[in-house]
Amino acid sequence: MAKSRLIGEYPVIGIRPTIDGRRGALKVRESLEDQTMNMAKSAAKLFEDNLRYSDGEPVKVVIADTTIGRVAEAAACAAKFKKEGVDITLTVTPCWCYGAETMDMDPMTIKAVWGFNGTERPGAVYLASVLATHSQKGLPAFGIYGHEVMEADDTTIPEDVKEKLLRFGRAAVAAATMRGKSYLQIGSVTMGIGGSIISPEFIEEYLGMRVESVDEVEIIRRMTEEIYDKDEYEKALKWTKENCREGLDKNPEEVDGIKVRSTAEEKEKNWEFVVKMMCIIKDLMNGNPNLPKGREEEAVGHNAIAAGFQGQRQWTDFYPNCDYPEALLNTSFDWNGAREPYILATENDVLNGLGMLFMKLLTNRAQIFADVRTYWSGASVKRVTGYDLEGHAKDADGFIHLINSGAACLDACGEAKDKDGNAVMKPWYEVTEEDQKAIMAATEWCAADNGYFRGGGFSSRFETKAEMPATMIRLNLVKNLGPVLQIAEGWTVHLPEKVSDTLWKRTDYTWPCTWFAPRCTGEGPFATAYDVMNNWGANHGAISYGHIGADLITLASILRIPVCMHNVPQEKIFRPSAWNAFGTDKEGQDYRACSAYGPMYKTIK
């Protein structure tokens, strides 16, 4: 796998095997040593076999040197975990233990406890006791208890326990990975969009990250003073010329005697500009040791795990737009082949960029940035095209048009295929050369719409011509409430070509196009696709492959961000056990618990 672009180690999961500390003639502790340590080893193997960091490497798991029966052993475990860089702990036990003596007391670790469901020893009793103690001490922990009674010598992990362990592991690794990293804004507020009005307090206190800012003129300075990797630029330009075919130029030659359309020579210069721009944005985010001698300061970068680019209006009125860098950086490959996708939010919508980051860290897949542009009802589609909706779109009484110039990853065209020939957006380390060729063949680059982008440039254009499971989210900040998260699981919709073209041309035919049908319940904000659109909290959405709403709910609870809207089945919701003390309705619990505990990284409360 690739070397991590970021400074700092990835979070480590620590397994804490706790045990009944009683010794004596009946050897209570001694009789449980093997079973307890085997639970720890089984959990560690499950994590190592199924979870990966964003660079593609398996997660690192460490186990306490001994079982933990008394406080001295808990302290020895904590000391080891501190040296190993453990940010996440899973306590496992098949038996009764001394709760307050054996529990993880570190306020900064993300915690879960798995109590074995067996009859010989009361693992469930310890689980209930220690979770109550966690709640009493203000240290939220996830509780994991299998549905079926197991035999004492059974070392397999039941499927329901696996699901919760992996959900906890994915979410905890995602949350801990963000710690100490940066969000880099290049520019500032875009066209008055609230999502681009950055809140350092939110990013610092809820995510444990920092905000870095540079003016867009820094890109021009680096171009002018040749502060970039010339070898990489030449390689990137060659690849671009060979793989990025030009598409439609919708601009007229001139209007009222004013030249509008770029000449072939101007387009050639624009290609050179946007490729160089992409190289420089990469350098700004994560540095580059290959910059010219004497540019050591620029070579270090900003340790950015995500970034945003303002663009409109001041930049795009004068310079080529950032659509090429945004689209390609967010994609799972470039001229160097498959590599970890970047997160670069168009219009510097930091809240949408952070939503993309959440889902990238949960899935290791490229993410889509789009306007939540238009709701099309079944009746409207029928009136305009004569087509009767089918499948998921019919079930939702319509669909939502996801379209925007800029940061949709090219993977979203759906041309990559799994072993059964189904359209898929793969984890980046599974993307093959064949996938890359198919994706590039399905994408063309249209001359930028001069009405939006007077400085020229190019916009990626493709259509998602496949039905794929997808999850759309939006992170919003609300005055006197704080951050909230919206989640809508659904599917991309493949429309007949004539129908799609007719509808697409009513918006902008030179931008990437995805039709999305949320899974509707017939009630509230998920009554129909219209209600999803009508209750959406902002103009943008972040979209990921797969139905990952349950993982997002778990991640949001770790970050203390309440979920204000979702269509995830209730049985899939997994939050810390303390949430159950805040009422009987799941969403009310979430709001009250997040308010009571507050952001993990807030230093003044």
Residue 242 appears among annotated catalytic residues = no
Least Cα distance to 566 among 547, 592, 540, 544 occurs for 547
Query: For residue 51, is it left (φ>0), alpha (ψ between -120 and 50) or beta?
Result: beta
Q: Show Cβ contacts of residue 492 under 8 Å, excluding neighbours closer than 6 positions.
A: 414, 464, 466, 467, 468, 470, 514, 515, 516, 517
Task: Give the helix ranges, DSSP H, for 179-319.
Answer: 200-207, 217-224, 230-243, 264-286, 296-299
Pairing relation of β-strands 12-17 and 86-93? parallel
Any idea how long the chain is?
Answer: 605
Would you tell me how many other CB atoms lie within 10 Å of the CB of residue 135?
A: 17
* Structure tokens belonging to residue 255: 């209007």
Pairing relation of β-strands 444-447 and 399-403? unpaired
Question: Are 180 and 208 spatial neighbours (Cβ–Cβ below 8 Å)?
Answer: yes
Unique residue bearing structure tokens 């540095």 = 287
Question: Are 472 and 485 spatial neighbours (Cβ–Cβ below 8 Å)?
Answer: no
Beta-ladder partners of 460: 445
Residue 371 appears among annotated catalytic residues = yes
Tell me: cis bond preceding 170? Omega within 30 of 0 counts.
no
Least Cα distance to 492 among 353, 368, 364 occurs for 368
The active-site residue, picked from 229, 347, 463, 489, is: 347
* Structure tokens belonging to residue 154: 């059974």
* Structure tokens belonging to residue 271: 């290609």
Cα 408 from Cα 535, distance rounded (Å)? 23
Cα 278 from Cα 329, distance rounded (Å)? 8
Cα 475 from Cα 561, distance rounded (Å)? 9
Helix (H, G, I), strand (E, B) or coil at 458: strand
- b/e 440-454 (16+ beta carbons within 10 angstroms → b): bebbbbbbbbbebbe
Question: Are 549 and 487 spatial neighbours (Cβ–Cβ below 8 Å)?
Answer: yes
The active-site residue, picked from 283, 371, 463, 508, is: 371
Question: Are 361 and 177 spatial neighbours (Cβ–Cβ below 8 Å)?
Answer: yes
- Name the burial class of residue 381, with classes exposed (0-12), middle (13-18) and buried (19+) by CB atoms within 10 angstroms of its CB: buried
Question: Are 286 and 304 spatial neighbours (Cβ–Cβ below 8 Å)?
Answer: yes
Question: Are 460 and 410 spatial neighbours (Cβ–Cβ below 8 Å)?
Answer: yes
Beta-ladder partners of 92: 17, 114
Pairing relation of β-strands 344-346 and 304-309? parallel
Cα 375 from Cα 518, distance rounded (Å)? 11
DSSP label at residue 448: P
**Catalytic residues, which ones?**
347, 371
